[in-house]
Structure 1
Amino acid sequence: MISVREIEILADRAHAGQTDKIGVPYIEHVRAVAAGLSPFGDDTLVMAGLLHDLLEDTDWTAQRLREAGVPGRVVEIVEAVTNQAGVPYDEKIRRITADPQATLVKIADNAHNSRPDRAAQLPADKRERLAAKYRSARAELWPAAARNDVEAIVRIVNPSLLAELGTHY
């Protein structure tokens, strides 16, 4: 069976040369998402965190992931959190909340994308638009997971969101 380390190497190679919205190597984002999922002691979640943007942002396909030895459940989670053409973001979030593990991956992704230090580097109009989008997503995602699970993720990925927890529970 493929290891978390092998998945990290796969993700690193697949995202090589890519940067995020603020110019940081993209692998740092997926590593942060995976780190937020590590307290659960579930390699499936960590692997999904490392691969969560692979289908959107690279030429990799779900079939290619399976052929590379990625466990089927990991691929299912990655597919669940992947944007689909023509599907509005709010509908995607509702779809994700039907899968508890996909929900945790998306919570970690949302938390990292919402970090104030990252948002501060964006133009004001983009920063405000994304902040509203991510807040709206949290209103759907957080109640779909146990509060202690959300808190575990947020403590690692974006502690600035801890104050917001009380508004969702």
Structure 2
Amino acid sequence: MKTVVEVDALVGAAHAGQLDKIGVPYADHVRAVAAGLAHFGPDLEMAGLLHDIVEDTDWTAGRLRSVGVPDHVVGIVQAVTNQRDMSYEEKIRRITRSRDATLVKIADNAHNSIPERAAQLPAAERDRLAAKYRAARDVLWAAADPAQVESIIAIVNPALLTELRERLAG
């Protein structure tokens, strides 16, 4: 079975040369997501590292299994991967059927919502994504243990802590 260190190397190679929407190496994003999940154990940390690999590279679930990525981790990756003919809203609802997939998506959403990152996008794109991610948080956060949500966003995007605490209080 692959270790977190081995999965990190796999991810580095798979996403080599890819940049995110603001021109940062894509591997930085998946590593930030994984960092927010590390305290939940190696399976969730690996899932955070791999959460976009099927969607954004030529890797498949079968290939991940064939190189020793644990089945549970591959299942989480499949749960958070976009599917044709499924809206983003449907995807988010589907993800909430799994605690682990929900936590991975919370970490992904938190990283995608970092204000300094969003500020580098064109205004229309920034506003569209902010609304999309806020709506997803409504569903994702409601489906997870509040202490777990807080522990993830405290690492990945502390700017969201105020929003979380306001939701919990209200």
* Interval of TM-score (by shorter of Structure 1 and Structure 2): over 0.9
Give 2:123's aligned amino acid. A
SS at 1:168 equivalent: helix
Aligned residue in 1 for 2:11: 11
For residue 107 of structure 1, report the CA deviation from its aligned partner.
0.1
Aligned partners of 1:70, 1:46: CA distance in 2, in Å? 12
Give 2:97's aligned amino acid. A
**Does residue 69 of structure 1 match 2:68?**
yes
Aligned partners of 1:39, 1:70: CA distance in 2, in Å? 19
Aligned partners of 1:47, 1:38: CA distance in 2, in Å? 8
Unaligned 5+ segments in structure 1 are none
Aligned residue in 2 for 1:20: 20
Aligned residue in 2 for 1:30: 30
Is the Cα contact below 8 Å between 1:139 and 1:168 reproduced in 2?
no
Aligned residue in 2 for 1:44: 43
Aligned residue in 2 for 1:57: 56
SS at 2:163 equivalent: helix
For residue 138 of structure 1, report the CA deviation from its aligned partner.
0.1
Aligned partners of 2:65, 2:100: CA distance in 1, in Å? 18
For 1:72-130, what per-residue CA distance to the aligned partner results, in whole angstroms no more than 9, with x for missing partners? 00000000000001100000000000000000000000000000010000000000000
Aligned residue in 1 for 2:109: 110
Aligned partners of 1:39, 1:60: CA distance in 2, in Å? 26
Aligned partners of 1:49, 1:96: CA distance in 2, in Å? 14
Across the aligned residues of Structure 1 and Structure 2, the Cα RMSD in angstroms comes to 0.7
For residue 167 of structure 1, report the CA deviation from its aligned partner.
4.1
Aligned partners of 2:157, 2:91: CA distance in 1, in Å? 22
TM-score computed with the length of structure 1 as normaliser? 0.98
Aligned partners of 1:140, 1:76: CA distance in 2, in Å? 21
Aligned residue in 1 for 2:118: 119
TM-score computed with the length of structure 2 as normaliser? 0.97
Give 1:5's aligned amino acid. V
